[in-house]
Amino acid sequence: MSQIIAIQSVSLDGFSAGANQDLEHPLGVGGPDLFSWFFPTETFQRMHGEGGGSRGIDDAFAQRSFVDVGAWIMGRNMFGPVRGDWPDESWRGWWGDNPPYHVPVFVLTHHPRPPLAMAGGTTFHFVTAGAEDALRHAQQAAAGKRIRIGGGAATIRQYLPRIDELHLALSPVLLGAGEPLFAGLNVRQLGFTVAESAVGENATHFILRRTQLK
Amino acid sequence: MSQIIAIQSVSLDGFSAGANQDLEHPLGVGGPDLFSWFFPTETFQRMHGEGGGSRGIDDAFAQRSFVDVGAWIMGRNMFGPVRGDWPDESWRGWWGDNPPYHVPVFVLTHHPRPPLAMAGGTTFHFVTAGAEDALRHAQQAAAGKRIRIGGGAATIRQYLPRIDELHLALSPVLLGAGEPLFAGLNVRQLGFTVAESAVGENATHFILRRTQLK
């Protein structure tokens, strides 16, 4: 069985995306502030074909979330802004021709669409049979490597009872509104404890691990 | 006009008290974990008549929240576990004969009770005419010094539109359930921004300041 991991940036007031996501605001209004720790890192810069970038603690945490990942699962809203039926196959993700995944990516959607193979080894598979089915596919594809739940918040919340390790990157900002990560969930009852914490240059990092409850 | 301040400890999942507060659990189940940064500080130890204690960053933040405070306001549940009518006047707070306030303390309650003068300058005044009335009394009593809103979470939430400076002490723990500090509130719309942050020995400290919106 693969280990299931996720990483979410959260604001001080508990949001992991801003309100009113759309084509101009894929992270919602104010959402990019959540990622101001991530953008300057070498890991992010390299993912987007750029050189340079910081190599401190924030980068170390960004980097480890990509190590040994054999499959991704993401919600449809992370894949793109299209809602409802796919009008055509022109939307190919936010990431250009060579997305930064390089493994199979299972996209949760209610609307079927053929698999989409991109440059660099990323293939988007559109799963209409639900979260458990996506997880089965991801387990097969990952072949023992880690499965990363990509987001957004609703997808993380859905998989939380199955996630083994959740990395929270707390950004020192207030969003006021948006998608709350934990609201209404009892993460302690789900078995999570804070296993590790570290202060980065622009965020504070917490590794939450889920252990089986007695 | 006095500056209005507050300090709240919060868990990573956004709670500032545990669930099921009662006489044995004045901070709710798991609540003391929120304050594990505060208990070892010199400020806390001195408040409780003990010597010693740590003098690092956590202590500096604890200390500044007591500086130049001329009046406190607190919810009845912070004063004690008694609910409904006061059966008698035997409950005199959690803090012994010499509470660590040393100024007038206005306790919000629906149930009248005569003022209670304690050793060391603390007098508890029981205010039944609501939060605005308590604030007027506190303004008079503070005479230009700062007013501190003591808690619990419901009281902080109630006064949030009036609070000028809110110090959040983020403890690296998960409570799972309890009193959420910000749920349903838009702190950005209220005018708060993160003015300052610092990493303490056992908590991360954020100073939120409210500025008038245009």
Give tens-digit pLDDT for B80-105: 888 899 999 999 999 999 999 999 99
Q: Which residue of A has its CA nearest to B182?
A: A13
Least CB–CB distance from B182: residue in A13, A170, A208: A13
pLDDT more than 90, % of chain B: 82
pTM of the full structure: 0.89
Beta bridge partners of B171: B11
Q: Which of A63, A67, A61 is nearest to A201 (CA)?
A: A61
ipTM: 0.85
Cis peptide bond N-terminal to A70, omega within 30: no
Q: Which tens digit of pLDDT belongs to each residue from A25-66?
A: 878 888 889 999 999 999 999 888 888 999 999 999 999 999
Contact B197 A168 (CB under 8 A): no
Q: What was the pLDDT predicted at A214?
A: 41
Domain boundaries defined on chain B: 4-80+98-210
Distance (Å) from the alpha carbon of A207 to chain B's nearest alpha carbon: 10
- Give the whole-angstrom CA distance, residue A169 versus residue A16: 10
Contact A174 B194 (CB under 8 A): yes
B4-80+98-210 topology per CATH: Dihydrofolate Reductase, subunit A (3.40.430)
Q: What is the pLDDT along chain A (214 residues), one digit of tens a residue?
A: 899 999 999 999 999 988 887 777 878 888 889 999 999 999 999 888 888 999 999 999 999 999 999 999 999 989 988 889 999 999 999 999 999 999 999 999 999 999 999 999 999 999 999 999 999 999 999 999 999 999 889 999 999 999 999 999 999 999 999 999 999 999 999 999 999 999 999 999 999 999 865 4
Beta bridge partners of B145: none
Which stretches within B9-66 are classed as H helix?
Answer: 42-47, 57-64
CA angle A192, A197, A200 (to 5 degrees): 140
Residues 6+ apart with CB under 8 A from A10: A16, A34, A168, A169, A170, A171, A181
Architecture per CATH, A4-82+99-210: 3-Layer(aba) Sandwich (3.40)
Least CB–CB distance from B206: residue in A12, A193, A197: A12
Q: What was the pLDDT predicted at B25?
A: 81
